[in-house]
Structure 1
Amino acid sequence: MHTPIKLALAAVAAAAALSTSAQNAPQSAPQKAPLKVGLMLPNTGTFAALGDNIEKGFRLYVNEQGGKLAGREIQYFKVDDESDPAKATDNVNKLIKRDQVDVLVGTVHSGVALAMARAAKESNTLLIVPNAGADAITGAQCAPNIFRSSFSNWQPGYATGVVAAQKGYKRAMTITWNYAAGNETVKGFTESFEKGGGKVVKDLSLPFPNVEFQALLTEIAAQKPDVVFAFFAGGGAVKFVKDYDAAGLRKTVPLMGSGFLTDGTLEAQGAAAQGLITTLHYADDIDTPRNNAFRKGFALAYKANADVYAVQGYDAAQLLGAGLTAVGGDFTKRPEMLYAMGKTVIGSPRGKFGMSTSRNPVQDFYIREAKGNYNVVTGVAVKALADPGRGCKS
């Protein structure tokens, strides 16, 4: 028989043993909280399809990693930016202040993206721009926490000007919307075209998102330039290419453009776009295992063809993943993470690319010809084209 005292002592000893064994047992690692990603993209208006494909591309890469980046679950917050610069500051603050996101991803419209960049700089929020090419974002407004996975407006304009000059055209006219993306793309075209011996005789523009082109097409017909360079995207690009053809200009004045003229728009443009020459950092038929796997994955996931917008969204997620992987998913190690993002080489469907010192992709620009519903590569306009990053001091 055990006395009550002996039983009590035994119970204390057993409890102590259990306590010691619990202290010595391996502790399971605490679960990291989900990483909050704020998607500020156009869900309505002329750029809605572009925003949709950017989001699909971003989510595709995350889903390929099992829904996590460097072990961190991704929690999405969404705001429709409406492609309206006047609403941009209020919209981005919904994500920064209300939702307290860790990362901002957006947007398409350059005017909206400039406001996003200002807000990101002031709040020190990590911003990855998956489309808008406003030069200032990786120029005068650059910051260590602002990256781009797409292009600067200068880049595709410059690349197209190189090709136009090589074709021997001497007199050019340009046409675009009167906003940052259009004006800066035209400046890039003019810089390289005139460096190559040509002359831009007139710049034409109309307010965004106006698509009443007739008066400007009449002026092109009267001036009879050797070539017209156009920058439009989305629904506006569809109408411009169709109107250009309907005006009879396609047969008399060659039309060239930044690749956004025909990317994601060829099916809607139909016969009017066939044979159009553009330059861009992506083309549908880049025949590499990386691009083929990406296009197959996108088609299976969304029952649709990928385009440049999907690639830029996909690579925004890759860029974020590279930074997180470098710090083991620890988002508090911001300096190390940002450094890693700036030094990484992204294995993109477009081809491998790294970052310039102002955190803009250094990438090849392809010559593409519209054939059927595809932009087919016919050559390389410029290898490893780096944006000059004018005005960037950080």
Structure 2
Amino acid sequence: MFELKFRKYPVAPAIALAVGTFFSGAVPGHAQQLKIGFIAPLSGTVAVTGKQGLDGFNLFLDMNGGKLGGVPATVVAKDDQAKPDLGLQAANELIERDKVDVMVGPFFSSVIMAAYKPITNAKIPMIGPVGGPSIIAGKQCSPYYFSTSWQNEEPHEAMGQYLQDKGLKRVYILAPNYLAGKETLNGFKRRFKGEIAGEVYTPLNQLDFAAEIAQIRQVKPEAVYVFYPGGFAINFVKQYAQSGVSKDIPLYSASSIDDTTLTAIGDAASGTFQTASYHRDLDNPANKRFREAFVKKFGYEPSFYSAYSYDAAQLLDAAIKQVGGKVADRPALIAALEQANFNSVRGNFKFNHNHFPIQDFYRLEVVEKDGKVEQVSREVVLRDKSDAYAHECKMAKP
């Protein structure tokens, strides 16, 4: 298990900023130091997602003197490699050995599900900065789990709605064969009422999509919709453009083409469309402050992984401040987290009763500008959207 333990602020290792030290002799009920567990993929095919999330979280700490809610904080980051067994191991180590006060992550749904019960059963607040399985938003919701991103199906519902409103009749859809892949396409189908010309789930280790693209060419749908994260998106979009099919059959996606993948995809992404609840060009003061600070510190543009992790830090900061640093008072801390009393980088944001956001979703487009491709936001597709599983959540008291 790859693990990062951080030294006292303001030392800043390349992969993440570490702040504070842990002190076990705090005044009862009032934390003099905080310990934050951060579980994410920090190596492997999707390592960029974990790194960008960790950068976003630590940026907020850097901007606030290494404190959350006025209390010095330490981050212990563990690499789950997007593997459930490693995520479970990381969660247990952070609970039993490191005795963290709060968990942030994991990022991938299969890993979230592996770590979810151990963390919430230990009554440790758990903030998911990327995605969330439907069962957690619904029947297995917990007072200790909060999402600062979305329930898995939501960005895909937004594109399903857009293509439905656009009047398309036949769409071919693809995703990886794992929990989030299946949920994302469920979300798309919830809103798109036309014909699904093909529904394909590819193995998690598949990076060659020639056979699937050949099938698309043969079926001749009006459009193709995909969910492929990280390196999978890079390969699929490049291969799709190189095949020539994109000239006749446009490509739509969500959580696939973004600032973690666009540079590597390059011109192949031009003319594609996406849906998301955040983009770095959103015009609000919180986002402008975040983006400027992020680029200045790290030298690259933030993605939604960075933004939602930054919001996770903002959420913790506001809640810990509200309870006067008394993180051991779990009912008070949960109540403070529920209020979400901070300015999200996405603008419109509040929690539903199941601790998932109510927020807007935007249509994005990749265009050519000044000799390079750039993703830009175009319009609101769904406004004040809540997830489809909130009604199944009977939230218990902490």
TM-score when scaled to structure 2? Answer: 0.88
Distance 1:323 1:160 in 2: 33
Give the corresponding residue for 1:98. 97
Give the corresponding residue for 2:375. 375
Distance 1:211 1:116 in 2: 27
Distance 2:107 2:69 in 1: 27
Give the corresponding residue for 1:393. 394
Matches within 5 A, 1:190-339: 190-194=189-193, 198-339=194-335
Give the corresponding residue for 1:12. none
Q: Please tell me whether residue 33 in structure 1 is matched to residue 27 in structure 2.
A: no
Q: How big is each residue's C-alpha offset from its partner over 1:247-288, in whole Å with a ceiling of 9 and x where there is no partner? A: 111111111011433342111101100121100001121122
- Greater helix share, 1 or 2? 1
State the Cα distance separating 1:373 from its structure 2 match.
4.4
Q: Please tell me whether residue 354 in structure 1 is matched to residue 354 in structure 2.
A: no
Q: Residue type matched to 2:114 in 1? A: A
Matches within 5 A, 1:23-62: 32-62=31-61
> 2:61, 2:313 within 8 Å by CA — same for their partners in 1?
yes
> 1:225, 1:253 within 8 Å by CA — same for their partners in 2?
yes
Q: Please tell me whether residue 69 in structure 1 is matched to residue 78 in structure 2.
A: no
SS class of match (1:261): coil
> 2:148, 2:356 within 8 Å by CA — same for their partners in 1?
yes
Q: Residue type matched to 1:377 in 2? A: S
> 1:367, 1:378 within 8 Å by CA — same for their partners in 2?
yes
SS class of match (2:256): helix
Give the corresponding residue for 2:14. none
Consecutive unaligned residues of structure 2, counting only runs of 5 or more, are 1-25
CA RMSD of aligned residues (A): 1.6
Higher-Rg structure is: 1
State the Cα distance separating 1:319 from its structure 2 match.
1.2
Q: Please tell me whether residue 111 in structure 1 is matched to residue 107 in structure 2.
A: no
> 1:41, 1:107 within 8 Å by CA — same for their partners in 2?
yes
Give the corresponding residue for 2:126. 127
State the Cα distance separating 1:375 from its structure 2 match.
1.9
Distance 2:68 2:258 in 1: 33
SS class of match (1:260): coil
Give the corresponding residue for 1:151. 150
State the Cα distance separating 1:178 from its structure 2 match.
0.7
Distance 2:309 2:203 in 1: 27
Distance 2:343 2:291 in 1: 14
> 2:87, 2:106 within 8 Å by CA — same for their partners in 1?
no
State the Cα distance separating 1:181 from its structure 2 match.
1.2
> 1:47, 1:108 within 8 Å by CA — same for their partners in 2?
no
Q: How big is each residue's C-alpha offset from its partner over 1:275-306, in whole Å with a ceiling of 9 and x where there is no partner? A: 21100001121122221111100011111111
TM-score when scaled to structure 1? Answer: 0.89
> 1:346, 1:353 within 8 Å by CA — same for their partners in 2?
no
Which deviates more, 172-181 or 369-378?
Answer: 369-378
Distance 1:42 1:131 in 2: 12
Distance 1:273 1:177 in 2: 19
